[in-house]
Amino acid sequence: MSLPRTLTGRRTAAAVVTAALLVPLAACSSDTDGGKDKGKAAGTSAAPETKLTVLAAASLTDVFKTAGAAYEKSHPGTTITFSFAGSQELVAQVAQGAPADALVTADTKSMDKAKADTGTPTVIAKNRLVIATVEGNPHKVDELKDLADPKLKVVLAAPEVPAGKYSKKILDAQKITVKPVSQEPNVRAVLSKVELGEADAGLVYKTDAESAKDKVDAVDIPDAQNAVAAYPAATLKDSKHAEAAAAFVAWLSTPEAQKILQDAGFQKP
């Protein structure tokens, strides 16, 4: 038995309307799923984080922590780990194949010893020596020749350390003989001895004394009697992140980095 034409027409119209309603719903579902898939794809295709290791002279300890934080903020995805020590120790580490990406020393001679393992170095800052004394300067140390007093406990950086080389250079030039109670492996160790009262005075960089100005006093040394310390920076040839390492070394010469260095007491390159 055939259905009435009116009923057949109604069912056909209803089917058409239903199909029309399902089409946009299906499209919405497809877009939503596609968006999720795209989001997942975007997440999985993100560049991996770059982790740089920088070997740096001990006298850069405080300023490089500040500089590193600034660099990471302006370069998302890059993190920097610093390893601080005397420049001679850092050069030895490089020679032994220590995994790192860049090297910054407190003198050009140390960097020269590592030239087979580095790119072309760039001097990023300079520094000068001062006499650090116990807070209040109770022994009234006013100039270099006062360090020759046998009653004074003086500590110096070891001769193979850049700060030790600079110290010897200026003392020899003034014909001043100092018998230190100890010779330390890096300039920060010299500063620590004075801070703790284990020494009455020591020769450190101006920036070291500035970093501990609430614990030690600094006696300036006239430029004519002083030595200028240069800080070269270079990438390491064995770096696994050559481009990122080069970018960081180049950044150290930018106005942003130079302001951080100079605010800490370092001089212009």
pLDDT tens-place string over residues 214-227: 999 999 999 999 99
Work out the pLDDT band at 75, boundaries 50, 70, 90.
very high
Q: Mean pLDDT across the stretch 41-58?
A: 75
Q: From CA 59, how far away is CA 64, in angstroms rounded?
A: 9
Check pLDDT > 90 for residue 33: no
Q: Give the pLDDT of residue 63.
A: 97
How many residues does this entry show for the chain?
A: 269
| pLDDT greater at residue 36 or residue 206 | 206
- Rounded to 5 degrees, φ, ψ at 100 are -160, 170
Q: Please, which residues bridge with residue 44 across strands?
A: none
Mean pLDDT in residue range 43-70 = 87
Whether 55 has a pLDDT exceeding 80, the answer reads yes
| pLDDT 10s digits, 95-151 | 999 999 999 999 999 999 999 999 999 999 999 999 999 999 999 999 999 999 999
Q: Looking at this protein, which amino acid is placed at residue 113?
A: K
**What is the pTM for the complete model shown?**
0.80
Average pLDDT, integer, range 11-34: 40
* Element (DSSP H or E) covering residue 79: strand 78-85
Domains of the chain from N-terminus onward = 50-126+230-263 (3.40.190.10), 127-228 (3.40.190.10)
* C-alpha dihedral, 46 to 83 to 192 to 224, nearest 10°: -100
Residue 51 exposure: Cα atoms within 13 Å on the Cβ side: 2
Residue 8's pLDDT is: 42
Among candidate residues 105, 111, 102, 110, the one with its CA nearest the CA of residue 68: 102
Instruction: Compute the average pLDDT of residues 244-267.
Output: 97
Mean pLDDT estimate for the chain:
87
